[in-house]
């Protein structure tokens, strides 16, 4: 029979790479908890309408990239292309709006977008994200960015730059949209077909278009940052000031409008030179109208999502020190009929928290020791009738090439101690 391969745009994450993923996940959860974020887990698929309303039906994500299907009951469902809409839905559905503000949530999810394959761009990918509800002022914006800054520092990630912008509120956006349309009107025929359809419905999306026909036109377009209302300008100035207080470097990039419709005011991205054409490791921003859009009371919100594949690619490029898989502690070889005893002691060691293995393959003693050497166990021992009668084993330190005779209890204490040091 022919072999079945993984679907295009997906990838298996195998050991030893999984150890780096576990480390990135652990440090993220740890940093989030220091900032008062608690983990939320949301469904992989949602009603399609949530993304149409939340992410916006003029975005590339909704128009071109969603994995949408009818379930057996004829309801339209979509594999989540991102986490924010689902978190907002859950926040409302589970009454979190009545919790004391701010409500801080973090997540670690897979997301699905039917995109063209490129380095750092997948159809199934992973995101670490944070969302915080209930705080309108720019302090929370800076705090969120500082969480990322700390996370990157703890992972040893350097050479990323923070780009920030403001895309205003519905008031200044409406005025700006008119200005943008006036500018675009003489170029309308030269825009791509998608942008022509966006001209009336959502002209801001044209700024984000990657088509070569649109790029030169967009380059000369007026910037939203130069057209903010006084309230949005004050908010943006406050954001910059708080970043400076926290000694976080940033660059103002008037071209960042983000690819999703829910953003208001603050938007930001962390970019790197290394992740192919997909230089954005992380993107986020404020979405003060989204909770209302999904059916709740007006509630300010802000968040980000970090592409985990891109983060790990970047760490590898920068040769950041990442832990490998935990080294197994002890291999217990069985001599003659002592297999039962070897297995029994192995189970006991595991219950004491020690990484221990014994033979499952019916191998000869020589083959067992060869296996132990290949798997880089730190210690090994052989259990036979003599060891059981004497209550003592010879514990071999495979690093030091030394041996010591110890009781089972002494070995247990020594191994537990060794493993504690290893973590
Ligand atoms: P986004 O910019 O669409 O924002 O995605 C965030 C990050 O996910 C990107 O910066 C990138 O690292 C990663 N990413 C996106 N698409 C792919 C892909 N096809 N393959 C690999 N990585 C990818 C959001 O998703 C928003 N929900 C972020 C947010 C949260 N804004 C506010 N709260």
- The response to whether residue 286 sits with its C-beta less than 6 Å from ligand 1 reads no
* Strand extents, DSSP E, 230-389: 251-252, 264-272, 280-286, 301-307, 330-334, 356-358, 379-383
Domain 330-417 maps to which CATH number in 3.30.360.10, 3.30.70.20, 3.40.50.20, 3.40.50.800?
3.40.50.800
- The response to whether residue 56 sits with its C-beta less than 6 Å from ligand 1 reads no
Average pLDDT by consecutive 10-residue portion of the chain (423 residues)? 96 95 98 98 98 91 95 98 98 97 98 93 98 98 98 93 96 94 93 90 87 91 96 98 97 92 96 72 97 97 97 92 90 93 96 96 94 92 94 94 96 93 78
CATH of domain 17-169+229-317: 3.30.930.10
SS3 assignment, position 141: helix
Question: How do strand 379-383 and strand 330-334 relate by DSSP bridges?
Answer: parallel
Residue nearest to atom 20 of ligand 1 (CA): 121
Q: What is the pLDDT of residue 223?
A: 95
- 270 CA: nearest ligand 1 atom: 10
Angle, in degrees to the nearest 10, between helices 230-245 and 138-155: 40
- The response to whether residue 310 sits with its C-beta less than 6 Å from ligand 1 reads yes
Q: What is the pLDDT of residue 377?
A: 93
- 127 CA: nearest ligand 1 atom: 8
- The response to whether residue 168 sits with its C-beta less than 6 Å from ligand 1 reads no
- Please name the residue ranges forming H helices in 98-229: 138-155, 170-184, 193-201, 204-207, 215-219
Domains of the chain by residue range = 17-169+229-317, 330-417
- Please name the residue ranges forming H helices in 56-96: 60-64, 84-93
Q: Residue 216 and residue 288: Cα distance in Å, rounded?
A: 31
Beta-carbon contacts of 368 under 8 Å, excluding residues fewer than 6 positions away, are 331, 333, 334, 359
Q: Residue 118 and residue 8: Cα distance in Å, rounded?
A: 11
Residue nearest to atom 15 of ligand 1 (CA): 307
Q: Residue 57 and residue 293: Cα distance in Å, rounded?
A: 13
Q: How much distance in Å is there from the Cα of 260 to the middle of ligand 1?
A: 10
- The response to whether residue 305 sits with its C-beta less than 6 Å from ligand 1 reads yes
The reply to whether 17-169+229-317 and 330-417 are identical in fold is: no
- The response to whether residue 134 sits with its C-beta less than 6 Å from ligand 1 reads no
Q: How much distance in Å is there from the Cα of 193 to the middle of ligand 1?
A: 25
Q: What is the pLDDT of residue 119?
A: 87
69, 70, 77 from 73: Cα distances, Å: 11, 8, 10
Query: How many CB atoms neighbour CB 216 within 10 A?
Result: 10
- The response to whether residue 167 sits with its C-beta less than 6 Å from ligand 1 reads no
Q: What is the pLDDT of residue 278?
A: 62
- The response to whether residue 51 sits with its C-beta less than 6 Å from ligand 1 reads no
Q: In the sheet where 392-397 sits, what is the strand order?
A: 356-358, 330-334, 379-383, 392-397, 402-407
pTM (2 d.p.): 0.94
- The response to whether residue 301 sits with its C-beta less than 6 Å from ligand 1 reads no
Q: With contact defined as beta carbons under 8 Å apart, do 284 and 268 qualify?
A: yes
Per-residue model confidence as pLDDT tens digits over 33-61? 999 999 999 999 999 999 999 999 888 89
Place of tokens 């469902």: 77
SS3 assignment, position 115: coil
Q: What is the pLDDT of residue 58?
A: 83
Per-residue model confidence as pLDDT tens digits over 222-259? 999 999 999 999 999 999 999 999 999 999 999 999 98
Q: What is the pLDDT of residue 276?
A: 53
């Amino acid at each position: 029979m022919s072999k079945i391969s993984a679907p295009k745009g997906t990838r298996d994450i195998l050991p030893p790479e999984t150890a780096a993923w576990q480390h990135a996940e652990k440090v993220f959860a740890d940093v989030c908890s220091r900032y008062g974020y608690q983990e939320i887990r949301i469904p992989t698929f949602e009603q399609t309408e949530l993304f149409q309303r939340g992410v916006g039906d003029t975005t590339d994500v909704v128009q071109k990239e969603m994995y949408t299907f009818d379930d057996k009951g004829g309801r339209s469902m979509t594999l989540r292309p991102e986490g924010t809409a689902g978190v907002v839905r859950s926040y409302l559905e589970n009454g979190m709006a009545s919790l004391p503000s701010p409500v801080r949530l973090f997540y670690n999810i897979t997301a699905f977008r039917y995109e063209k394959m490129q380095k750092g761009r997948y159809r199934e990918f992973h995101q670490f994200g944070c969302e915080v509800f209930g705080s309108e002022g720019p302090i929370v914006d800076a705090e969120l960015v500082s969480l990322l800054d700390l996370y990157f520092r703890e992972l040893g990630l350097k050479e990323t730059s923070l780009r920030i912008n403001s895309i205003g509120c519905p008031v200044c956006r409406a005025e700006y949209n008119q200005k943008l349309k006036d500018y675009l009107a003489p170029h309308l025929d030269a825009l791509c077909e998608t942008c022509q359809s966006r001209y009336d419905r959502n002209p801001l999306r044209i700024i984000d278009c990657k088509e070569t026909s649109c790029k030169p036109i967009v380059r000369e377009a007026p910037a939203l940052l130069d057209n903010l209302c006084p309230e949005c300008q004050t908010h943006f100035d406050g954001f910059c000031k708080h970043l400076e207080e926290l000694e976080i470097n940033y660059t103002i990039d008037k071209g960042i409008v983000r690819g999703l419709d829910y953003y208001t005011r603050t938007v930001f991205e962390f970019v790197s030179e290394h992740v192919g054409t997909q230089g954005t490791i992380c993107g986020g921003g404020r979405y003060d109208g989204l909770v209302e859009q999904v059916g709740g009371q007006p509630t300010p919100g802000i968040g980000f999502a970090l592409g985990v594949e891109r983060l790990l690619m970047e760490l590898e490029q920068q040769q950041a020190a990442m832990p490998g898989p935990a080294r197994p502690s002890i291999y217990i070889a069985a001599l003659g009929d002592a297999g039962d005893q070897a297995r029994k002691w192995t189970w006991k060691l595991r219950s004491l928290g020690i990484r221990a293995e014994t033979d499952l393959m019916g191998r000869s003693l020589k083959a067992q020791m060869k296996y132990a050497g290949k798997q880089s166990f730190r210690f090994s021992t052989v259990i036979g009738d003599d060891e059981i009668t004497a209550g003592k084993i010879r514990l071999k330190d495979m690093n030091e090439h030394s041996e010591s005779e110890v009781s089972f209890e002494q070995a247990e204490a020594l191994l537990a101690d060794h493993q504690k040091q290893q973590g």
